[in-house]
A and B are shown apart, each in its own frame.
Chain A
Amino acid sequence: MRFLVNPNRFNNFSDIIIKPLTIIAGIFIITGLIFSLYLSPDDYQQGSTVRIMYIHVPSAWLSLMTYLIMTIYSIAALAFRTPFGFIINTAVAPIGAVFTLICIISGSLWGKPMWGTWWVWDARLTSVAVLFLVYLIIIFINLSFENRVVREKIAAIFILVGFVNLPIIKFSVDWWNTLHQPATISKLSKPSIDPSMMTPLIIMTFAFIFIGILVAILRVKTEIHNRKHNI
């Protein structure tokens, strides 16, 4: 597992893994799209719009997951002095921002036919919008300092302070009365979603995870290359 903290080993490992990962991601996204667009049934209330869920939910999970990974790497980088964490932070922040943007846009496209409005100021939606702004600020911090050492450390400190938002997003549907529904799939209880809709959701989640890892590997490799050659 040294490739998770060592840039050279990461490069070697990613050279091995990148071709199979591309193929697996392609297979997963194609089967997932076939399942979600043709094989899964319509909802009895929502009709065909329920298929937005297969994009919306995986991207929301991945936006949270990306921030969690960034937080873990910031702690590792600041406390245990592993500079690879800074590389991960700079490389992964735009990916998280894009996933959050996909989540917000697909959610508002889903909200128009179901709730009758593009946007409501309820707790879940607002906190996800704040997460998007936090991602944007991380990108801005990475762009606006001239000294690289200062820039990456300050971004890491900001990520740690901004972690407060994550539990708020997770529990916002339980703490406040929101229009957004509470979590359907949780670890502790039996999911209240039918298996015929559960299968495409899980396949799409794995497809999104593989695509995210693929883009992240490319970005991290570029970042390592840039730092080696002082670009």
Chain B
Amino acid sequence: MYNFLKKLINFFYREYKINLSGFHDILTNISFFFISIFIFIFSIGPEKETLSLLSVGIVWSLILLSLTLSLRKFYQDDFDNGNLLIMHLNGFSFELICILKTISHFIYVQIPFLISIPIASILLNISFDKIYYLLISFLFGSLILSNLGSISSSMNLLNQRNYLLGSIIVMIFSIPVIIFSVAVINQEENFHYLINILLGILLIVFAINPWASGACLKLALQNN
């Protein structure tokens, strides 16, 4: 038990060091998010009435876009330099590796987004009580997106030709996430009902993710 805890702590320390040295990647993600918000505002026009109708949808869809663009790094670096195999030989099962990587992706990639969302919503004139709902829906939705990202990027480990396929897979499965998490913000009277649906989706995805991406990791390591 003690050994296992030590391994876990070592895993997260290693992830922390990797993400700290590559922090500019995450910053690039966030700056992509902001720049695309600017582009949206230039194309729609700065009128407050249209923006107040569209703003929540804009924020959510741009978060989804900028996350899917960064998914290539989810397993690929560890797979290329052999760390995935070493982790497996050290007694981590593939399913456990998937869960741990998903959690570390949530902590090191999604939490910076959580911080930058209030700034973006101030730029888009979203009112403060809506920001509260936006953050709650992002907290659940980003966990779902991390799980989906784990599935799609493990599917595309050996795919050297078609890099966009992983992003498309995430986007097509994230349609219900977008629907319900935007509805959480726009229909405040149904808040509890919709947040329960979002929580249900999270539990389903959390149950599917380790098996699906574990099988894909095993497949990729066997056929490399």
Give A residues with C-beta under 8 Å from B.
130, 133-134, 137, 140-141, 143-147, 149-150, 153-154, 157-158, 160-162
6 tightest A-B CB contacts, nearest first: A144-B162, A150-B223, A154-B155, A144-B161, A150-B158, A147-B223
Interface readout for B39-54 with A: 1 if CB under 8 Å, 0 if not? 0000000000000000
- Whether B168 pairs with A154 at a CB distance below 8 angstroms is no
Known: A137-B172, A149-B223. 4 other contacts (CB 8 A): A130-B172, A140-B165, A150-B223, A157-B155
Per-residue CB contact flags for chain B residues 137-164 toward chain A (1 = under 8 Å, else 0) read: 0000000000000010001001111100
Q: Do A158 and B219 touch (CB < 8 A)?
A: no
**B173: Cβ under 8 A from any A Cβ:** yes
> Chain A residues with Cβ under 8 A from B172's Cβ?
130, 133-134, 137
Do A157 and B215 contact each other (CB < 8 Å), given the known contacts A147-B223, A150-B220, A150-B223? yes
Q: How far is the CA of A10 from the CA of B224 in the complex (A)?
A: 32
> What are 10 sample pairs from A and B whose C-beta atoms fall under 8 A apart?
A137-B168, A137-B169, A141-B155, A141-B165, A144-B159, A146-B158, A153-B219, A154-B216, A157-B155, A158-B155
Dominant SS among interface residues on chain A = helix
Instruction: Determine if B208 is an interface residue (Cβ-Cβ < 8 Å).
Output: yes
Chain B residue at smallest Cβ distance from A123: B179
Residue of A nearest to B169 (CB): A137
C-alpha spacing A157/B155, complex, angstroms? 9
Say yes or no: A145 contacts B212, CB within 8 Å.
no
Report yes or no: A140 in contact with B162, Cβ–Cβ below 8 A. yes
Residues of A within 8 Å of B162, CB to CB, are 140, 143-144
Closest to B151 in A: A161
Complex CA gap A137/B155 in Å reads 12
